[in-house]
């Protein structure tokens, strides 16, 4: 069903990509908030309404490429090797993504990507929305695994913590600190240890 793609579907996919590509180029040049949807439409050679046809919200364009990490993360946890903890699965996944990100030509350096987000409240909001979706989906998965009713606190908190590892890997590396692999494992250790490092008040 992949081989068979109607003209219409192909064009639609191409249009989507064209819009996203043109938009990302403008974003990288000027910053997210300094690019209007009208600008994007002109750059992509379509009407403003068409842009909204593909992306109901402007900020979605920005995360269009990076958007399917959710499915990968869920799969990494769901189909983790027997005997592996969910925590390990996430850590392994993060490490894998990191290598992947490092191994491609920096047409758009990751640092620039992060900077654009840091400079725009709208993008930060959208990013939080995405992480929230990760949490919800992961919580549901964990609830199924453990047979706990969906919506319970346990899987929710666990999911939040797991996605926290992902967020830590992304956000803390912004400061240009350690390679990042250390960060992920450190975060993992904190969680696996039951937050033992914060067990006692300092005074």
Partner DNA sequence: CGTAAACTTGCCCTCCTGGCAAGAAGGGAA
Partner DNA sequence: TTCCCTTCTTGCCAGGAGGGCAAGTTTACG
Residues found near a second copy in the complex (CB under 8 A) = 80-87, 124-125, 128-129, 132, 142, 145-146, 149, 151-154, 156-158, 160-165, 167-169, 171-172, 175, 177, 183-184, 186-187, 189-195, 197-203
Q: Provide the CB-side half-sphere exposure for 160 (13 A, CA).
A: 6
SS3 assignment, position 45: coil
CB-based burial of residue 62 (10 Å sphere; 0-12 exposed, 13-18 middle, 19+ buried)? buried
Q: How far is the CB of 32 from DNA (least distance, A)?
A: 8
User: What is the C-alpha to C-alpha distance for residues 187 and 182, in angstroms, rounded to an integer?
Assistant: 8
Using the rule CB under 7 A, which residue among 17, 48, 74, 101 binds DNA? 48
Q: Which does 24 bind (CB under 5 to 8 A by kind): a second copy, DNA, none?
A: none
Q: Are 45 and 38 in contact (CB under 8 A)?
A: no
For residues 99 and 154, which CB has a smaller minimum distance to a second copy in the complex? 154
Binding segment for DNA among 11-19, 68-76, 165-173, 189-197 (CB under 7 A)? 11-19
């Amino acid at each position: 069903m992949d081989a068979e793609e109607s003209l219409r579907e192909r064009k639609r996919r191409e249009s989507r990509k064209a819009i996203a590509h043109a938009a990302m180029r403008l974003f990288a040049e000027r910053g997210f908030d300094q690019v209007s949807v009208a600008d994007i439409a002109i750059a992509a050679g379509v009407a403003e309404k068409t842009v909204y046809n593909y992306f109901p919200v402007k900020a979605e364009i920005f995360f269009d490429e990076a958007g399917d990490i959710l499915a990968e993360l869920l799969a990494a946890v769901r189909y983790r090797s027997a005997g592996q903890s969910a925590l390990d699965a996430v850590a392994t996944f993060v490490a894998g993504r990191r290598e992947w990100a490092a191994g491609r030509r920096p047409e758009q350096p990751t640092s620039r990507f992060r900077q654009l987000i840091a400079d725009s409240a709208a993008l930060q909001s959208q990013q939080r929305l995405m992480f929230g979706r990760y949490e919800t989906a992961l919580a549901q998965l964990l609830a199924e695994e453990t047979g706990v009713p969906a919506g319970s606190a346990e899987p929710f908190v666990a999911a939040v913590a797991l996605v926290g590892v992902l967020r830590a890997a992304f956000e803390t590396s912004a400061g240009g600190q350690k390679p990042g692999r250390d960060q992920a494992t450190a975060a993992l250790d904190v969680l696996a240890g039951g937050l033992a490092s914060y067990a006692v008040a300092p005074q």
